[in-house]
Structure 1
């Protein structure tokens, strides 16, 4: 186990035009459970199958424990996404599978509550996370995977400057079935997202 110097500092808060990102805390449970619960039908087709106790407080405590452990080990950092206008929880975004040494890379995954979809908030969140990964964590490559018919997610990644690198067959088990995924990546010295796609 190792901990990067960054992981011993105060927990980061990232602020964009539309959203604010901060590490989840225990007291976020009610808002998280309510948003996930009301968005279940919207989210399930893009996520691993939900456990029967998915939204229970005990499962939440285990989730927070995993977030803290991954953070302390320097292998992942989870953020919640908050609407900067209202301060309400809108979704989540994680930089996981962080590798150093010759790889210097990480993998981004995200979700958004149904009522917040289509407002540009996730694009803002992904751009914030990219900047944090490259500038603070000094990573070289950020990867993402997306089911081919998830048009909204494809749009988010491309607006954030990711480039499609290929198709991975039967890549992840989503909602109980193995799914092909497009593989995307963004490199630290790629042009800024504003210089790529809108």
Structure 2
């Protein structure tokens, strides 16, 4: 992670840069969102009718700024060489005894299968554990969304169970698979990675 000239955090993971959404992103974001609105309906709650308008976008920017200042949420746009490839967010951030947050993301359909979602999740979890000192990050996805499940599994998330009627998706309450990643999971995985790397030298 490094500090940008605008004072917002930029998270770098492989080819992907995560930056806080800004007014200048609107046109590119709207183009990407419009291209994906139908496809995303199968996997996530339906967007409000005015979601793609610039007015609604600016309202969300104010919400994101408030969440960031309070430390309760961190929204990002994902870029590869200044091309917007996805959106992600660390929400419901709690400190104190919980020290946890909830991760969500989506990628532009033409950009899927290129490792960008994996990079987005990697950048967000590193930010959660290293910069925010969280102990737990969780995510939820529809059980038949196998691609999202693979991305999270690759990042080290573990299945905890199915949450019944978790969210309304495409007009119906849907069960979701709950997964989580703990700081201790990364600590336990580090020696295993070191041994594996040593064996390949």
TM, length-normalised to structure 2:
0.88
Question: Which is richer in helix?
Answer: 2
Distance in 2 (alpha carbons) for counterparts of 1:20 and 1:49: 27
- Aligned match of 1:129: 124
Which residue of the other structure, out of 142, 154, 157, is the alignment partner of 2:152? 157
- Aligned match of 1:143: 138
Which residue of the other structure, out of 13, 18, 21, is the alignment partner of 1:16? 13
SS in 2 for 1:50: coil
- The offset of 1:120, in angstroms, is 0.8
Consecutive unaligned residues in structure 2, runs of 5 or more: 1-5, 194-201
Is 1:73 aligned to 2:70, yes or no?
Answer: yes
- 1:16-41 CA-partner distances (Å, limit 9, x unpaired): 11211010011111000000101222
- Aligned match of 1:180: 175
- The offset of 1:10, in angstroms, is 3.0
Distance in 2 (alpha carbons) for counterparts of 1:142 and 1:50: 24
- Aligned match of 1:107: 102
Is 1:52 aligned to 2:65, yes or no?
Answer: no
Consecutive unaligned residues in structure 1, runs of 5 or more: 1-8
- The offset of 1:137, in angstroms, is 0.4
SS in 2 for 1:48: coil
Farther-moved stretch of structure 1 (157-166 vs 40-49): 40-49
**Highest Rg: 1 or 2?**
2
- Aligned match of 2:84: 89
SS in 2 for 1:161: coil
Distance in 1 (alpha carbons) for counterparts of 2:178 and 2:47: 24
> What is the Cα-based RMSD across aligned positions, in Å?
1.6
Would you identify which runs of 4 or more consecutive aligned residues in structure 1 move more than 2 Å? 191-195
- 1:113-137 CA-partner distances (Å, limit 9, x unpaired): 1111111101011011111110110
Is 1:27 aligned to 2:24, yes or no?
Answer: yes
Which residue of the other structure, out of 59, 64, 67, is the alignment partner of 1:62? 59
